Each structure stands twice: as C-alpha cells, then as structure tokens.
C-alpha cells in the first residue's frame, strides 16, 4: 500500500517517500512531510544550486549551505535561485 503524506511543498496529500532520503532529524522531518514529487522538485533545485554556485558535494561548507537551503525550500520561506540565474527555456 502506498504511504500518503500531507506534502508541505505541494500543499496537498500525495504519495510519500519510501524511505528517509536524508540523515538525522531533518531527514525524518522530510520523510514525514514531503512527497515523492516534492522531493523530486528539490533534487532539480539542488542541481541548479550546485551548478550555479559551483558547489562540491564533498565540501563540508557546500553541504551545510545545501542543507540550509533544503530547510528553507521545504519548511521556510523558500529557497531562491542566485540573483543572476536565468532558467533555461
């Protein structure tokens, strides 16, 4: 049976993640409150952040920045792209 969650990103009930996708308390909070579709939206946004800010996933400062942006994306005011970002058409 599919696990449903009230997704904080989509603002509606949707299919939940199959397992936590991030460690710790934040990962548990995401598992309980974010849908598969919401998580996929984050992965696309995170890829843009990695590319635009030229971040390295193995750099601790980059990981901390991404975690902060992830919290804002799901549970805060939202994460914004860099000011000079132009979305591809």
CATH, residue 27: 1.10.3880.10
Does 83 have pLDDT greater than 90?
no
The share of the chain scoring above pLDDT 70, in percent, equals 99
pLDDT score of 84: 76
In a domain, 83, yes or no: no
d(CA 19, CA 9): 18
Query: What does residue 86 show for φ and ψ, rounded to 5 degrees?
Result: -120, 115
What is the pLDDT, as a whole number, of residue 43? 96
Instruction: Report the pLDDT value the prediction gives residue 38, as an integer from 0 to 100.
Output: 96
Q: Are residues 21 and 43 in contact, defined by beta-carbon separation less than 8 angstroms?
A: no
**C-beta atoms surrounding 5 within 10 Å:** 20
Number of domains in the chain: 1
Could you give the CA distance from residue 75 to residue 22 in angstroms, rounded to a whole number? 15
pTM: 0.87
CA dist., res. 39 & res. 16, Å (int): 9
**Is residue 31 within 8 Å of 17, Cβ to Cβ?**
yes
Span 33-76, pLDDT tens digits: 999 999 999 999 999 999 999 999 899 999 999 999 999 999 98
Identify the residue whose tokens are 């979305």.
87
In which domain, by residue range, is 67 found? 4-14+22-75
């Amino acid at each position: 049976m599919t696990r449903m969650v009230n997704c904080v990103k989509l603002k509606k009930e949707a299919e939940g993640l199959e397992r936590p996708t991030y460690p710790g308390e934040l990962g548990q909070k995401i598992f309980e409150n974010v849908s598969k579709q919401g998580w996929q939206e984050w992965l696309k946004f995170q890829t843009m952040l990695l590319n635009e800010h030229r971040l390295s996933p193995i750099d601790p400062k980059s990981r901390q920045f991404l975690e902060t942006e992830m919290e804002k994306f799901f549970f805060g005011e939202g994460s914004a792209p860099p000011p000079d970002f132009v979305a591809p058409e």
